[in-house]
Structure 1
Amino acid sequence: MPIPMPAFPGRPRPLLALGCLFATGFLAAPALAADNPGAHEHGHARLQMAVEENRIDLMFNSPAFNLAGFEHEARTGGEKSQLADINRWLETTPLVSTPAADCRVTAAAVELGGHMEAHGEDDHDDHHDHDEDHHDHGGHEQGKTTHREYDVSQQLECGRIGASQEFTSALMDRFQAMEELTVEWVSPSGQGSARLTPSTRTFTVNE
């Protein structure tokens, strides 16, 4: 039975397809726990996949720190250029592929969002001097904390995906601050998950 792909203006099809699949219970409730605000953890990211024949729909979520090394608004020309390079990579590079590297991106959308949290003066260490308080340490600034995240959707076309198909991900090669990537997948015949690390970058989807 084909995976439904509803069309809504302004929303990428991969994001919607996966949202419908996971929201309707294809994955168990614990797998959805990463959707809560406490899931923002540097070094960790999440990738969801819907596999059908030779098409893969993907949703990727990660703290911006894992990709850019900072979470504040880009201030310098170098930071703005870095974010532009990250966007281009996410829009054009398959987040997963087969060992034959025969997957290609047919649609993609990248969003960088987040929020600022205000803090009172008592939240700061009194031992920090005035100059040090004005420096940004991994997205933490005087009086506020920045939490920004990337939300990426991709639709891929691959060579025919067979039973027990092995995949690799280029995310950890490109973004070395990523220490762990949780992968969750669903297909017409089942579901599963895997945890990728810098030393384990392949996983198998049982079609």
Structure 2
Amino acid sequence: MKTFTKGFTIALLLGLGFSANAQKHVHGEGELLIAQQGNVLQMQFIIPAADALGFEHQVASSTDKNAIDVLAQQLKNSSHAIDIKGQCILQSTENSLAHSHDEHADLHSHDHHNVEATYNFNCKTPVRGFTVTLFKLMPSLNALNVQWISNTGQGSTEATRNNPVISWQS
């Protein structure tokens, strides 16, 4: 199931023209990519590390390591990122912080780094929208550029701290 959803999402998102190399890196702004087919819903958040962790530099202290550990733990719970109002059951989650500190230190040696979190759900009914709760967890995150492909079509919008609700029509 995990391989299917990853392959499914990659194929759908490439169909929308997403490319990891084309993602912009603007502090205060992140990306949210959504793919839905049948009962399977997958979401991927891509957030600048400066907004997610408060820094982008190489891990240099126990405070930095603690910030990574705390955020990694928080991102395991989908309610810290979104509120689907009980329509779906979380099947799996992954985030780019779930590495050892040695691997993570290497990732932070670059000028810019993003934190990524992916959520896979099984939904009883088709999802038509949800509320982004990630803004509460990341005070300097102001907006998410949202793109989706669903059972009923594709589209894009922007979710902001003041307007965190995302919806699409059937």
Give the TM-score category using the shorter length: 0.7 to 0.9
**Alignment size in residue pairs:** 160
TM-score (norm 1): 0.67
Contact 1:59–1:154 (CA<8 Å) still a contact in 2? yes
Which of 55, 58, 62 aligns to 2:47? It is: 62
Please list every run of 5 or more consecutive structure 2 residues that lacks an aligned counterpart in the other structure.
Answer: 98-106
Match of residue 37, structure 2, among 44, 52, 56: 52
The equivalent of 1:36 in structure 2 is 22
The 2-side partners of 1:62 and 1:195 are apart by 14
TM-score normalized by the length of structure 2:
0.80
CA distance in 2, matches of 1:206, 1:34: 28
> What do the CA deviations read for 1:91-129 (whole angstroms, capped 9, x no partner)?
22243332x24444211111154553xxxxxxxxxxxxx
Amino acid at match of 1:16: G
CA contact (8 A) 2:87 2:125 kept: no
CA–CA separation in structure 1 for the residues paired with 2:6 and 2:47: 15
Across the aligned residues of Structure 1 and Structure 2, the Cα RMSD in angstroms comes to 2.4
Q: Which amino acid aligns with 2:153?
A: G
1:43 to 1:14, Cα distance in 2 relative to 1, 3 A: farther
After the TM superposition, which residues 182-201 of structure 1 pair with which residues of structure 2 at under 5 Å, given as runs?
182-201=145-164
Q: Offset of 1:151 from its aligned partner?
A: 2.2
Work out whether residues 58 and 109 of structure 2, in 8 Å CA contact, stay in contact via their aligned partners in 1. Answer: no
Deviations 1:21-78 (A, max 9, x none): 121x2x2x4xx377426x1111110011112344311122111011111011222222
Whichever of the two has the greater Rg, that structure is 1
- Between the aligned partners of 1:192 and 1:160, the Cα distance in structure 2 is 20
Structure 2 residue aligned with 1:157: 122
